[in-house]
Amino acid sequence: MDYQRSNGSGTAEDVANLARRAGQLAGWAARTGFELTKKLPGIDTAERGFRQVERGLLSELRRRLDEVDDPYHAALTAASAMNRPDTNGRPVEATVALVPARDHLEPLRAAMAELLNHSIGFGRDRAREYLYAIILRQLTPDEARILAALSDGSPFPAIDVAERTAIGGTGRIVLRNASTVGKAAGVTMADQVPGYLTRLIGLGLVELDEEVPALETQYEILLTDEAVREVEKQFKRIKVIRRTVHVSRLGAQFWQACDPSAG
What confidence category does residue 136 fall into, taking pLDDT thresholds of 50, 70 and 90?
very high
Q: Which of 214, 146, 144, 212 is nearest to 180 (CA)?
A: 146
pLDDT at position 40, please? 44
Does the domain formed by 141-252 have CATH 3.30.110.190? yes
pLDDT of residue 56: 60
One DSSP character per residue, 139-176 reads --HHHHHHHHHHTT---EEEEEEEEEPTTS-EEEEEEE
Choose the weakest-confidence range: 54-68, 172-186, 237-251: 54-68
Beta pairing partners, 179:
158
- Per DSSP, 225 falls in state S
- At residue 62 the predicted structure's pLDDT band, cuts being 50, 70 and 90, is low
The domain locations on the chain are: 12-67, 71-136, 141-252
3-state DSSP percent of the chain in helix, strand and coil, to 5: 55, 15, 30
Residue 57 is predicted with a pLDDT of 55
- pTM over 0.75? The answer is no
The whole-number pLDDT of residue 83 equals: 43
Categorize the per-residue pLDDT at 35 as very low, low, confident or very high, splitting at 50, 70 and 90.
very low
For the ranges 83-87, 134-138, 173-177, 210-214, which has the lowest average pLDDT? 83-87
Give the integer Cα–Cα distance in Å for 114 and 123. 17
The letter for the amino acid at 27 is G
CB atoms within 10 A of CB 161: 21
Beta bridge partner(s), residue 85: 91
List, for residues 153-204, the tens digit of each pLDDT value. 999 999 999 988 777 677 889 999 999 999 999 999 999 999 999 999 999 9
